[in-house]
Amino acid sequence: MEFETVIGLEVHCELKTQSKIFCTCRNKFTAEPNRHCCPVCNGYPGVLPVLNKRAVEYTIMAGLALNCDIAKLSRFDRKHYFYPDLSKSYQTSQLDYPLCKRGRVDITVDGKRKSVRINRIHLEEDAGKLVHSEWGNGTLVDYNRAAVPLIEIVTEPDINSADEAVAFLESIKTILKYTGVSDCKMEEGSLRCDVNLSIRPKGSTGFGVRTEMKNLNSFRAVHRSILYEGKRHAEVLRSGGELVQETRRWDDEQGVSLSMRTKEDAIDYKYFPDPDLMPLVLTDEYIESLRAHIPELPEKRKERYVSEYGLPEYDADVLTSDKAVADFFDSCAKDYDNRKALSNWVMSDVLRKIKESGLGEDEPIPVSPANFVKLLKLYDGKVISQNAARMVLDEIWQNDRDPAEVVEKMGLKQITDEGELLKMVKEIIQSNPGPVADYKAGNKKALAFFVGQIMKATKGKANPQKVNELLVKELES
């Protein structure tokens, strides 16, 4: 029997606010444990939370960017459970009245486009982090992350493969980063994901028994765990066994999922409305004022790069995947008409420099668009060779200044003066009768020898096209 995989994702994403969700502690990823804590985020008795307005705004912006309806009335609830990383013994979250509902994200896999529906996005707080000590059997707790604002994005079961799941996550990551609400760094834990998976006979519409895999912290882990779990389900069913609805833990090192708890011992969270926080009531004007802050999103931008700049889809895709690169490209394109040439330079040389210099995603590019365009124009005007252009780029990447100055200082100007080049051409021909005879005998390869000699004599600064022209003219005359 052929099976089809049915997947729903729960994506947790930390918001990039200055402070935590209910106190003024800094929201910052820090190596030093328990540096950013206070009685509020440590859950001392009697303290009162004050909701961070920016966290609400960021959640609404995420919702708008992901095509959600924004609820004008939402509410916070307490989700009770005990675990050492949660000193309050309840997590402030949203159960029945989330801030955003009914969204949609479009993905493309193997050239096929599809929509993944979003059921809801709610705002909640993150928990602390357990650190399993290397020097003993103990476990330590770091509360820096406790009460960092977190959104949970819950999809409908619209995803049918590991590739689609990763495409969805990549899309969410790019959109949220574009919107500026999260840096989505999986390695720092600011983007995490749970996978709900079941299988069903191909073509049927019902749902099989579902398992949930918790806290996957890389795209690779998501991909591998889906392939593994789908295969495991199919094997159990094919061998006549029965699947159990359960929560499983993905062990990335061993590449297996392991049972954590079954439905029987599922936790009862005893949710109730948080009495310390007022319901959140929003006006249309307020929501619309936030919509104005949503930038042009990657999908739209990609379309514009194809229609307005005439770029191939591949180029549009590469250039828009990082907002800093796309912003740089747009600024350059204002003063540079050959967009395909610009795209080639950015995709090869700017991306190479970003990689070489270890610049993080979304970090601004150290060369100003104005100086970069000046550099390309020097190359187009044959003032410098392509190699020289790369050398100048290395220089202005370190120290952003007028590339013409760098060309002058480094003596990179191409020799294009016809008189000067002709003199050299004549000398080379005169002192190499052998290759001249070869050329005249029909061995056109001898030309390369002459070009090489002139390049050597000028340390690569002669304009190769001009040199070629002059050589042919002289040799044939």
| Smallest separation, CB 87 to Zn ion (Å) | 11
Find the angle CA(38)-CA(56)-CA(276) to the nearest 5 degrees.
55
Select 87 or 414, whichever has its Cβ closest to Zn ion. Answer: 87
Question: Measuring CA to CA, how many Å separate 272 from each of 97, 276, 421, 465?
Answer: 12, 12, 85, 78
Rounded Cα–Cα distance for residues 247 and 61 (Å): 31
For position 25 contacting Zn ion by CB under 5 A, the verdict is yes
Total of chain residues touching Zn ion, rule CB under 5 A: 5
Select 42 or 161, whichever has its Cβ closest to Zn ion. Answer: 42
Segment interacting with Zn ion (CB under 5 A) among 15-23, 97-105, 133-141, 446-454: 15-23
| Smallest separation, CB 36 to Zn ion (Å) | 7
Rounded Cα–Cα distance for residues 404 and 406 (Å): 5
Task: Please give the structure tokens belonging to residue 39.
Answer: 């009685």
Select 25 or 424, whichever has its Cβ closest to Zn ion. Answer: 25
For position 421 contacting Zn ion by CB under 5 A, the verdict is no
**DSSP H stretches of helix in 321-368:** 323-333, 339-345, 351-356
| Smallest separation, CB 147 to Zn ion (Å) | 6
| Smallest separation, CB 167 to Zn ion (Å) | 37
Select 24 or 465, whichever has its Cβ closest to Zn ion. Answer: 24
Select 90 or 450, whichever has its Cβ closest to Zn ion. Answer: 90
Residue found under tokens 């600064």? 461
Letters for 101-140 (x = contact with Zn ion by CB under 5 A, - = none) are ----------------------------------------
Task: Please give the structure tokens belonging to residue 468.
Answer: 């070629």
Task: Please give the structure tokens belonging to residue 97.
Answer: 């009245």
Select 143 or 305, whichever has its Cβ closest to Zn ion. Answer: 143
Q: Are strands 3-14 and 90-93 parallel, antiparallel or unpaired?
A: unpaired
Task: Name the nearest CA neighbour of 239 among 431, 477, 1, 65.
Answer: 1
DSSP letters spanning 73-99: EE--EEEE--BTTBTTSEEEE-SSS-S
| Smallest separation, CB 123 to Zn ion (Å) | 17
User: Hey, how many other C-beta atoms are within 10 angstroms of the C-beta on 109?
Assistant: 16
| Smallest separation, CB 23 to Zn ion (Å) | 3
Q: Are strands 191-201 and 69-70 parallel, antiparallel or unpaired?
A: unpaired
Select 41 or 346, whichever has its Cβ closest to Zn ion. Answer: 41
| Smallest separation, CB 16 to Zn ion (Å) | 17
CB 237 within 8 A of CB 201: no
For position 375 contacting Zn ion by CB under 5 A, the verdict is no
Select 47 or 282, whichever has its Cβ closest to Zn ion. Answer: 47
Residues 30-59 that bind Zn ion (CB under 5 A): 38, 40-41
DSSP label of 103? E
User: Hey, how many other C-beta atoms are within 10 angstroms of the C-beta on 58?
Assistant: 24
Select 7 or 41, whichever has its Cβ closest to Zn ion. Answer: 41
| Smallest separation, CB 37 to Zn ion (Å) | 6
For position 23 contacting Zn ion by CB under 5 A, the verdict is yes
Task: Please give the structure tokens belonging to residue 437.
Answer: 């005879």
Task: Please give the structure tokens belonging to residue 72.
Answer: 């004008």
Select 41 or 221, whichever has its Cβ closest to Zn ion. Answer: 41
Residue found under tokens 């990609």? 302
Maximum C-alpha span of the chain: 100
| Smallest separation, CB 50 to Zn ion (Å) | 11
First to last CA, the chain: 79
Q: Which residues make up the interface to Zn ion (CB under 5 A)?
A: 23, 25, 38, 40-41
